[in-house]
A and B are shown apart, each in its own frame.
Chain A
């Protein structure tokens, strides 16, 4: 509910800005019209020239009003004040209607189809406001435009006419025509109001239903991930107990074990290890997916420091297999979630080490070019078959050569990488030759999360 109010408020703000933009166009159009008619004044009748000089002033008036609207928008509307937002919108609509009515009067009123211009306002009002509000504004619009006609008719204001004949005087002597004319205006305006406002209400209803549905989907997906998280934890707890006991036995805390028992216990421990990694990665993935980008705590993080700490954690593993880790790291600060980024970097570099051959090399490059950060990790390992390149980011996918090389393959590591990158609006590319090695390149683009910067 709160979201939908905020959504409506944002929509209202956008509309106000759009109205201001439209008005600039109208001002430009009016002045072009004035310049045009004044520069060719010898070809036009005197009535028309008078008219265009008034329009110069109207253009100026609209300009001043537009500046006021902009200032009001900056200092009141932007500060989340709903009342002032509505006041800004209502004032714009009302003053525009007044200006349009006056222009209609100047341009001959009843004798010129320009009188239909107020219908544009009726349409806009019907789209942006509620049915009752738009009805009120439609009535005001009719009243304002037609009041000029009535005042002219009663000779309370001078009759403006663009035509060389005394057409107005003839029309205004004809009561029947005037009644038909007024009746038609009322009919057209209210029918238009009815059609547009009904359709617009329906669309709005549909839109809010979609928004609600979307919220529901987000909630369900969150609940699902929470459930997943708790379930995974339920798996991990007994597993942790089994493994803890196994380790206590293996370490000889209950006396020395016969060799066969020791071997079986080692296998139990290893199988638990694999299951443990799998469950851990499932928890990580559920966690990463259960938090939306908007909720993700974001701070300025130094990617080079994350890469350095990941590498120092992995040095023991790589040196055991005589794999050389070569780095070329530039300073690269970015906005992101440090924990998720660390998991992502750790998965990519650990993969490069895992799937390297002994005595191989792993290169890690980090470059910052203007707005873009590039993290490149390449190995000389077992590589990825071309037909598997598409599948490696799918959950639970393990290529045949990967399973052969790594008994702990869970097929979740790259799925986690993908989720983290999605949260950080980043891209990844993979180049690989079977038995030659793979290169994973991550591209981060700045700026990100301007609205959600914390810390």
Chain B
């Protein structure tokens, strides 16, 4: 059974994702903030991470978490799907919030999912990322 970890502050989104994924035989764990998240992920050892971008603590926390994960040698290969209510085509919005002058094309994630969660697309992307 593949284990998927969902990190999102929106409990309803987490609940919706859980409903879909559990009925397709995944085991789902979740956190609703990014505090010490890298350590928590290390303990959970998920097969895939579903990560939100905007958290109340920081409007681009998701990207920071993704970068921090990639710096950990044990997690460097963990598949990450980042998701947000803001369109994928408009990454500029994140970059300006973070005041972080990293190349806007730089996203250390495997895929992007746009909210609202479309059940079919969610399953499709998870299958694709896990296959690789």
- Chain A interface residues toward B at CB < 8 A: 226, 229-230, 233, 236-237, 239-245, 247-248, 251, 253-254, 272, 276, 280, 283-284, 287, 290-291, 297, 339, 342-343
Contact = CB atoms under 8 A, between A and B. Distances in A.
B77 interface: no
A326 B119 CA distance: 34
Contacts of B96: 226, 290-291
Nearest to A296: B92
B20 interface: yes
Interface size class of B (residues with CB under 8 A): 20 to 34
B35 to A, nearest CB: 20
A34 to B, nearest CB: 59
B93 A283 contact: yes
A339 B104 CA distance: 10
Interface string B108-123: 0000000111111000
Report which residue of B17, B87, B115, B116 has the largest number of chain A beta carbons within 10 angstroms of its beta carbon: B116
Contacts of B16: 241, 244-245, 247-248
A247 B119 contact: yes
Contacts of A239: 85, 116
A272 B116 contact: yes
A233 B92 contact: no
Nearest to A225: B96
Given A233-B86, A244-B17, A248-B119, 14 more contacts: A230-B59, A233-B54, A236-B115, A241-B116, A242-B116, A244-B12, A245-B12, A248-B19, A253-B19, A254-B19, A284-B90, A287-B90, A339-B89, A339-B90
A281 to B, nearest CB: 10
Contacts of A242: 116
A339 B116 contact: no
Nearest to B104: A297
Contact of B116 (A251, A254, A276): A276
A90 B92 CA distance: 46
Nearest to B123: A251
Contacts of A342: 89
B87 A243 contact: no
A290 B12 CA distance: 31
A241 B89 contact: no
B74 interface: no
Report which residue of B85, B93, B115, B119 has the largest number of chain A beta carbons within 10 angstroms of its beta carbon: B85
17 contacts: A226-B96, A240-B116, A241-B10, A243-B116, A244-B12, A244-B16, A245-B16, A247-B116, A247-B117, A248-B119, A251-B20, A253-B119, A272-B116, A283-B90, A291-B92, A291-B96, A339-B92
B39 interface: no
B73 interface: no
Given A233-B54, A243-B116, A253 B20 contact: yes
Interface string B2-13: 000000001011
A405 B74 CA distance: 54
Contacts of B13: 240-241, 244
Contacts of B12: 241, 244-245
B132 interface: no
Given A244-B116, A247-B119, A237 B87 contact: no
Nearest to A242: B116
- Tell me whether chain A's interface is mostly helix, strand or loop, or mixed: helix
The 7 A-B residue pairs with the shortest CB-CB distance, nearest first, are A243-B116, A240-B115, A236-B85, A241-B12, A244-B117, A244-B16, A240-B116
A205 to B, nearest CB: 33
Interface in B26-85: 54, 59, 85
Contacts of B90: 283-284, 287, 339, 343
Contacts of B120: 251
Contacts of A248: 16, 19-20, 117, 119
Nearest to B16: A244
B86 A283 contact: yes
Nearest to B85: A236
A237 B92 contact: no
A249 to B, nearest CB: 9
A228 to B, nearest CB: 11
B128 interface: no
Contact of A240 (B87, B89, B91, B117): B117
A93 B98 CA distance: 49
B107 to A, nearest CB: 13
A50 to B, nearest CB: 67
B89 A229 contact: no
Nearest to A295: B96
Contacts of A343: 89-90
A389 to B, nearest CB: 29
Nearest to B116: A243
A247 B122 CA distance: 11
A253 B85 contact: no
A287 B92 contact: yes
Contacts of A244: 12-13, 16-17, 115-117
A245 B17 CA distance: 9
A109 to B, nearest CB: 63
Contacts of A290: 96
A51 B109 CA distance: 81
Contact of B85 (A226, A233, A272): A233
Contact of A339 (B17, B91, B115, B119): B91
Contacts of A237: 10, 54, 85, 115
